[in-house]
Amino acid sequence: DVKVTQSSRYLVKRTGEKVFLECVQDMDHENMFWYRQDPGLGLRLIYFSYDVKMKEKGDIPEGYSVSREKKERFSLILESASTNQTSMYLCASSLGSGRRQTEAFFGQGTRLTVV
Amino acid sequence: ELKVEQNPLFLSMQEGKNYTIYCNYSTTSDRLYWYRQDPGKSLESLFVLLSNGAVKQEGRLMASLDTKARLSTLHITAAVHDLSATYFCAVDIYGGSQGNLIFGKGTKLSVKP
């Protein structure tokens, strides 16, 4: 089975802190994604990556950055956390590209609260 | 702007009843996915629909895709409490974006005895 693991289930951080959310997948997937999920807004894509050191902005990249130094690991960074970044963060991965791409497999989620 | 619209967004139904959730999308795509999310949990893949006319069934759930109408349906037969969850459809707008999934807002299903 595909396993996508996020480093924390719950995090509480202070405004202005630098926050790292880590995601690791064990199935050699090329593509990795970070979403945030908010009530009434569904899932919104923050960043995605289709290869090591490659990244693409999603719909809401402002206030976030990402790092993909190794194929299995995709990190989301909040440079200076703000209360409006309180949310559920979901990491996902998928294999292939274009028409050969599989569905996305999701991690368990990190519920981040910024106080 | 690409839109993926699910309806209804909330669905309360009794055990034993049938119902259909609809997922409309506004761009050309022949790849659509359905996911299930239990409260406080992550998303679990339910169905992968990869062509026009695709139909997949698992237990009391059946999903179909009509790419000409840009419509997918998730049909629930004889609902049971265990199906209570939020269901998301996601359209794949692969191509230059290397597989960007656009999600609907989800349908929160509550099955009552």
pLDDT in tens, B61-112: 999 999 999 999 999 999 999 999 999 999 987 654 445 788 999 999 999 9
- Nearest-5° Cα angle at A62, A25 to B102: 55
Question: What pLDDT, on the 0 to 100 scale, is given for residue B2?
Answer: 78
User: Among A4-13, A100-109, B21-30, B75-84, whose mean pLDDT is lowest?
Assistant: A100-109
User: What's chain B's length in residues?
Assistant: 113
Q: How confident is the model at residue A39 (pLDDT cuts 50, 70, 90)?
A: confident
Residue A37 pLDDT > 90: yes
Would an 8 Å CB–CB cutoff place B108 in contact with chain A? no
Residue A103 pLDDT > 70: yes
Q: Is B82 helix (H, G, I), strand (E, B) or coil?
A: helix
Q: Contact B103/A109, CB-based, under 8 Å?
A: no
Cβ(B94)–Cβ(B30) under 8 Å? no
Q: Closest residue of B to A89, CA-based? A: B42
Taking residues A59-84, what's their average pLDDT? 96
Taking residues A67-74, what's their average pLDDT? 96
